[in-house]
Amino acid sequence: MIDVPALLDGLQIVLSWQVLLFIILGLAVGVILGAVPGVSGALGIALTLPLTYTMQPLDAIMFLSGMFTGSVYAGGITAVMLNIPGSPGAVATTLDGYPMTKQGRQNEALGAGLMSSVIGCLVSYVVVFFLIQSMGNFVLLFQAPEMLMLAIFALSIISMIKGNLSKALIAGFLGLLLGSIGATAYGRERGTFGQIELYEGIQIVPALMGLLAISELFYLVQQKFIVGDKTTHIQRSFKDFVRGCMLVIKQKVNTIRSIIIGIFIGVLPAAGATVASLVSYSQAQTFSKNKDNFGKGEDSGLIAAETANSSSEGGGMATMLTFGIPGGSATAVLMAAFMIHGLTPGPYLIRDHMDLTYAVIIGNIIQAFFLLFIGFIFVWYFSKLVLAPARLIIPIVAIFSLLGAFSVRGIYLDVVLTLGFAVLALVMRKLDYPLIAVLLGLILGATIDGEMTRTLLIYEGQYLSLFERPIFTTMFVITMLLFILPIAQKVWARRKEKLTEGEL
């Protein structure tokens, strides 16, 4: 139910030139920072937080929120152009975005990415506006067993990866093993091999930089440009951007499904954009008529990933505002911003400052519109990267990737790990092991570890009673089907191929 007086007060607060200016500034700074490999939205927000001490509360919150939105979007740009996801949430974007760039379709990919981000962000905040209380009730239904199943559900992409199944599973298990390195729930070291710096586990940014960014340079060195040498046509026209934007509007079912997945997974603490974009990508592949084209430049894969990535932002904001529980590192810093300015997110914020809550939500809806214009300016310049020679891109990407890995914690081991992951990726690519499987395992390994520990502790000795939980049971069945069906389809297809060869 909408509190109309609070809504009118909120509108009055947010529709001032000062707030709108800070939204635009925040978006622009966020896009610039998010486009730098290794600099995440959370890092940028954390480091600019002190600059906002003297600002009015809503000015500060909208500036930082704009930075967050801008950096999430810009992470998708580098994912498309350079195979460098700006955040873990953009990993799924690289799967089809970068192949589109290599085919000379970078303008279409950037246009689709921009419109996906705008629509995802816009619709998610509109949903939050109307359903903020109900979304809170939904969050309470998800406890450790459901979170565990959700993370395993996200892993189901592994079974759909084209190519050798055993190699995909080996890569996935290896990623999970690497993701489990770090402190256990009891505070003891596990798999750190004497390195105290690994107590917090392997950080995602060094792994992403090594596995995706730097490993790609080993193949870029054999080409003159990012675009493959055999590509005859490179998109240069503004019409290609517009065509990319229209793709999102044409693929209504894919877009709506991705928004729903993004919002409902984004609402769950610790699940966030990464799980949302991966689940959305896998669902897009499941329901697509062009399954075989996924991973080779399929625009619906890019749209599914980016839409869910952006729409999870609204879900995460709803959880933070309703419960005071941050959905990820960036919302944690945004929460700090609220508290610094005298507002404590949670039930009391909703009860006592509903006007400010509405102002934040409406401000984020307005942000989505501004993102469209700011995004077009940036993508126009970013798209020119395909014309830059590879010999210039290689050292620049390497320098920024290694520095970005270092800037996460200021520990040099992260730089060494980045190089280590790059070597691992080079070897795996030569032997046809899918990198995405390692990445999935690495990203989800920590979540699975935490939720599994909690589930085992809560249900010690009574594991069968887990199946009395309806959401857990439903997700368990769907996850098993998602793992088994693609495997069965592959085995069946291979048998059919052998039978056909035998007949011939």
Partner 1 sequence: MAAEMKQFLFLFFVGSFTAYYYMDVQSLSEPEERILVEVIAGGLMILIVLRGSFSVFKMIRLRNDETSFIQDFVIWIKDKQAMLLLSFVLYVIFIPILGFFSSTILFFIGLNYYLKSRKVWEMTLLPIIVLSIIYLIFVFFLQVNIPTGLLI
Q: Which is nearer to partner 1, 229 or 503 (CB)?
A: 229
Do residues 248 and 255 touch, judged by C-beta distance below 8 A? yes
Contact pick of 231, 286, 293, 407 for partner 1 (by CB under 8 A): 407
Distance, CA of 189 to CA of 187 (rounded, Å): 7
CB 184 → partner 1: shortest distance, Å?
A: 4
Region from 136-144, 257-265, 307-315, 386-394 binding partner 1, contact rule CB under 8 A? 386-394
Region from 17-25, 214-222, 346-354, 358-366 binding partner 1, contact rule CB under 8 A? 214-222
Q: What is the CA radius of gyration of the chain?
A: 22
Which one, of 270, 266, 318, lies nearest residue 148 by Cα? 270
Residue 211 is a binding residue for partner 1 (CB under 8 A): no
Residue 385 is a binding residue for partner 1 (CB under 8 A): no
- Residue 338's CB: how many other CB atoms inside 10 A? 23
Region from 55-63, 320-328, 347-355, 384-392 binding partner 1, contact rule CB under 8 A? 384-392
Q: Which is nearer to partner 1, 79 or 176 (CB)?
A: 176
Instruction: Locate 129 and state its tokens.
Output: 């506006």
Residue 232 is a binding residue for partner 1 (CB under 8 A): no
Residue 259 is a binding residue for partner 1 (CB under 8 A): no
Instruction: Locate 212 and state its tokens.
Output: 């995706």
Region from 90-98, 116-124, 403-411, 495-503 binding partner 1, contact rule CB under 8 A? 403-411
Distance, CA of 104 to CA of 371 (rounded, Å): 25
Do residues 10 and 356 touch, judged by C-beta distance below 8 A? yes
Q: Which is nearer to partner 1, 14 or 36 (CB)?
A: 36
Which one, of 70, 422, 438, 115, lies nearest residue 249 by Cα? 115
CB 253 → partner 1: shortest distance, Å?
A: 36
Residue 398 is a binding residue for partner 1 (CB under 8 A): yes
Provide the residue type at 448 as one letter.
I
Contact pick of 230, 252, 351, 430 for partner 1 (by CB under 8 A): 430
Distance, CA of 105 to CA of 233 (rounded, Å): 8
CA atoms within 13 A on the CB side of 139: 27
Phi/psi of residue 192, each to 5°? -85, -15
Do residues 34 and 375 touch, judged by C-beta distance below 8 A? no
Do residues 127 and 260 touch, judged by C-beta distance below 8 A? no
Instruction: Locate 86 and state its tokens.
Output: 């700006």
Size of the residue set binding partner 1 (CB under 8 A): 59
Distance, CA of 444 to CA of 278 (rounded, Å): 11
Instruction: Locate 403 and state its tokens.
Output: 């520095």
Contact pick of 169, 340, 385, 485 for partner 1 (by CB under 8 A): 169
Instruction: Locate 293 and state its tokens.
Output: 């084209």
Q: Which is nearer to partner 1, 175 or 327 (CB)?
A: 175
What are the beta bridge partners of residue 183?
Answer: 189
Q: Which is nearer to partner 1, 36 or 58 (CB)?
A: 36
In order of 99, 110, 114, 239, 385, the CA distances from 236 in angstroms are 17, 12, 17, 9, 11
Region from 59-67, 372-380, 389-397, 472-480 binding partner 1, contact rule CB under 8 A? 389-397
Distance, CA of 494 to CA of 109 (rounded, Å): 34
Instruction: Locate 79 and state its tokens.
Output: 């994912």
Which residues, numbered 35-54, are part of the site for partner 1 (CB under 8 A)?
36, 39, 43-44, 47
In order of 67, 97, 235, 258, 281, the CA distances from 84 in angstroms are 19, 11, 21, 22, 18
Residue 184 is a binding residue for partner 1 (CB under 8 A): yes
Q: Which is nearer to partner 1, 264 or 378 (CB)?
A: 378
Residue 462 is a binding residue for partner 1 (CB under 8 A): no
Residue 289 is a binding residue for partner 1 (CB under 8 A): no
CB 353 → partner 1: shortest distance, Å?
A: 32
What are the DSSP calls for 411-439, one per residue?
A: -THHHHHHHHHHHHHHHHHHTT--HHHHH
Q: Which is nearer to partner 1, 33 or 482 (CB)?
A: 33
Residue 461 is a binding residue for partner 1 (CB under 8 A): no
Residue 333 is a binding residue for partner 1 (CB under 8 A): no
What are the DSSP calls for 179-248, one per residue?
A: HT-EE-TTS-EES-TT-GGGGG---HHHHHIIIIIIHHHHHHTTSSSSS-TT------SHHHHHHHHHHH
Residue 237 is a binding residue for partner 1 (CB under 8 A): no
Provide the residue type at 55 as one letter.
M
Which residues, numbered 438-457, are part of the site for partner 1 (CB under 8 A)?
448-449, 452-453, 456-457
CB 493 → partner 1: shortest distance, Å?
A: 19
CB 299 → partner 1: shortest distance, Å?
A: 31
CB 255 → partner 1: shortest distance, Å?
A: 34
Contact pick of 25, 126, 190, 246 for partner 1 (by CB under 8 A): 190
CB 428 → partner 1: shortest distance, Å?
A: 8
Contact pick of 128, 214, 271, 330 for partner 1 (by CB under 8 A): 214
CB 48 → partner 1: shortest distance, Å?
A: 8
Q: Which is nearer to partner 1, 34 or 99 (CB)?
A: 34
Binding site for partner 1 (CB under 8 A): 33, 36, 39, 43-44, 47, 166-167, 169-170, 173-174, 176-177, 180, 184-186, 188, 190-191, 193, 214, 217-218, 221-222, 390-392, 394-396, 398-400, 402-403, 406-407, 410, 412, 415-416, 419, 422-423, 426-428, 430-431, 433, 448-449, 452-453, 456-457
